């Protein structure tokens, strides 16, 4: 079979049961429901249960996507996991997830660290590998346990993030003009320090002092990230539309990274597309990094917001600062 295109065969998502509300957070740090809602649009987020790992959440999302696609874990020969919170620094979360899913051992399994853009990097990579003809069915997962790397004493970050996982199964089709139309990836590497975990890597391994200072938690310059995020998402969206000669009005639904409602509203304004063309669930989950776009995609599909023939635009930015956009025709 000549592979003309790569198509999404199924989607799935999982979020932990535990809901952490803004009211509860206001008892933990000096903040308020009003501040969090007006600055970010977030009302609540999900937090993994004690002992529940990134790989556990990924497995739930993956099983849902496989069921949706009518496939078994043994049908998958390529597993790509986008995460900044793997269960262990070594090895890849993908290997742990492969084993938990009972996948075959001759499947390629690896992680991608592109933070909140990771899922778009993941589908771009998987689609390129599928169109090479050397792989046939890919599982791409975005999964995060951000509650483990958030400093719960730091109000400027802890109110923004949550845990969860989303997954898609991608296969090949000989039908032209459907599936992944194309994608656009990039990064502003000069802005690494705007959002990072300063210590604990090979350049500065953890010490008692660095741990006491909380330098193994996520640190962010929120205002600067906000500005660059709007610029990066706007450019990523515009570039891909131009590349494929599409007008924003031809996009039925935009699935943006869910970091902040104000960022999504700014993109809506710049693209001159009304907010009802944007899928929003940041109010319920906060920012789940690499899991954000696939959770939103799954919820959009299953709530009937995506119909055959529709063109969906995925767009995200994340630590790095990375950015990415992708167009999918259903
Ligand atoms: N509760 C109450 N007050 C707070 C809180 C809080 N949780 N956090 C900060 N403040 C205070 C600040 O100290 C500041 O007080 P000051 O004026 O006395 O100095 C005031 O509120 C305003 O703070 P700003 O940072 O200017 O608020 P801003 O309107 O920029 O909103 C926010 C902050 C929500 C962080 C915003 O900048 C943002 O969303 N940035 C982007 C963050 C983001 O998307 N990060 C994810 C990247 S993706 C990834 O890869 C993980």
Domain ranges of the chain: 5-176, 180-329
Catalytic annotation, residues: 116, 257, 287
**Which of 223, 227, 256, 265 for mutating ligand 1's site (highest number of atoms within 8 Å of CB)?**
223
Please say if the pLDDT value at position 37 is more than 70. yes
Task: Write down the pLDDT at residue 177.
Answer: 83
Read off the pLDDT of residues 199-214 as tens digits, 9 standing for 90 and up. 999 999 999 999 999 9
CA distances from 279 to 86, 185, 292, 300 (A): 27, 21, 11, 7
Pocket of ligand 1 (CB under 6 A): 31, 35, 39-40, 115-116, 155-156, 159, 195, 220, 222-223, 225-226, 229, 259-260, 287, 289, 318-319
Tokens of 66: 């496989």
Tokens of 91: 């090895």
Instruction: Name the fold adopted by 180-329.
Output: Peroxisomal Thiolase; Chain A, domain 1 (3.40.47)
Q: Which atom of ligand 1 is nearest to the CA of 259?
A: 44
Q: Please state, in angstroms and rounded to a whole number, the distance separating the CA atoms of residues 302 and 279.
A: 12
Percentage of the residues of the chain whose pLDDT score is greater than 70: 99
Pairing of strands 311-318, 253-256: parallel
Mean pLDDT of all residues in 294-315: 97
Task: Write down the pLDDT at residue 2.
Answer: 53
Pairing of strands 78-82, 195-196: unpaired
Q: Which CATH entry fits the domain spanning 5-176: 3.30.300.250, 3.40.640.10, 3.20.20.70, 3.40.47.10?
A: 3.40.47.10
Q: Which atom of ligand 1 is nearest to the CA of 158?
A: 7
Average pLDDT over the chain reads: 97
Q: Please state, in angstroms and rounded to a whole number, the distance separating the CA atoms of residues 33 and 41.
A: 10
- 3-state DSSP assignment of residue 20: strand
Q: Please state, in angstroms and rounded to a whole number, the distance separating the CA atoms of residues 256 and 278.
A: 7
Mean pLDDT of all residues in 70-76: 98
């Amino acid at each position: 079979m000549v592979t003309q295109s790569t198509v999404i065969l199924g989607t799935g998502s999982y979020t932990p049961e535990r809901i952490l509300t803004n009211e509860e957070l206001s008892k933990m740090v000096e903040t308020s429901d009003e501040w969090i809602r007006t600055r970010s649009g977030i009302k609540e987020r999900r937090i993994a249960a004690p002992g529940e790992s990134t790989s556990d959440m990924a497995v739930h999302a993956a099983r849902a996507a496989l069921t949706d696609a009518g496939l078994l874990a043994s049908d998958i020969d390529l597993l790509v996991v986008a995460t900044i919170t793997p269960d262990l620094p070594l090895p890849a979360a993908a290997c742990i997830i492969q084993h938990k899913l009972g996948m075959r051992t001759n499947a390629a399994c690896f992680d991608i660290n592109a933070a909140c853009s990771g899922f778009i990097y993941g589908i771009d990579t998987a689609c390129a590998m599928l169109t090479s003809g050397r792989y046939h069915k890919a599982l791409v997962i975005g999964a995060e346990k951000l509650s483990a790397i958030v400093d719960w004493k730091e109000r400027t970050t802890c109110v923004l993030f949550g845990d969860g996982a989303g997954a898609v199964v991608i296969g090949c089709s000989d039908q032209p003009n459907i599936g992944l139309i194309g994608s656009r990836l990039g990064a502003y590497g000069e802005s690494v320090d705007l959002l990072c975990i300063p210590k604990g890597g090979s350049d500065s391994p953890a010490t008692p002092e660095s741990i006491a200072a909380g330098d193994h938690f996520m640190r962010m310059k929120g205002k600067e990230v906000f500005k660059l995020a709007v610029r990066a998402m706007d450019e990523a969206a515009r570039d891909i539309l131009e590349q494929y000669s599409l007008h924003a009005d031809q996009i039925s639904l935009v699935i943006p990274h869910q970091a902040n409602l104000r960022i999504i509203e700014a993109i809506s304004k710049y693209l001159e597309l009304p907010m009802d063309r944007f899928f929003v669930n940041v109010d319920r989950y906060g920012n789940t990094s690499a899991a954000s776009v696939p959770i939103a995609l799954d919820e959009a599909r299953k709530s009937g917001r995506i119909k055959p023939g529709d063109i969906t635009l995925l767009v995200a930015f994340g630590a790095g600062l990375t950015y990415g956009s992708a167009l999918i025709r259903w």
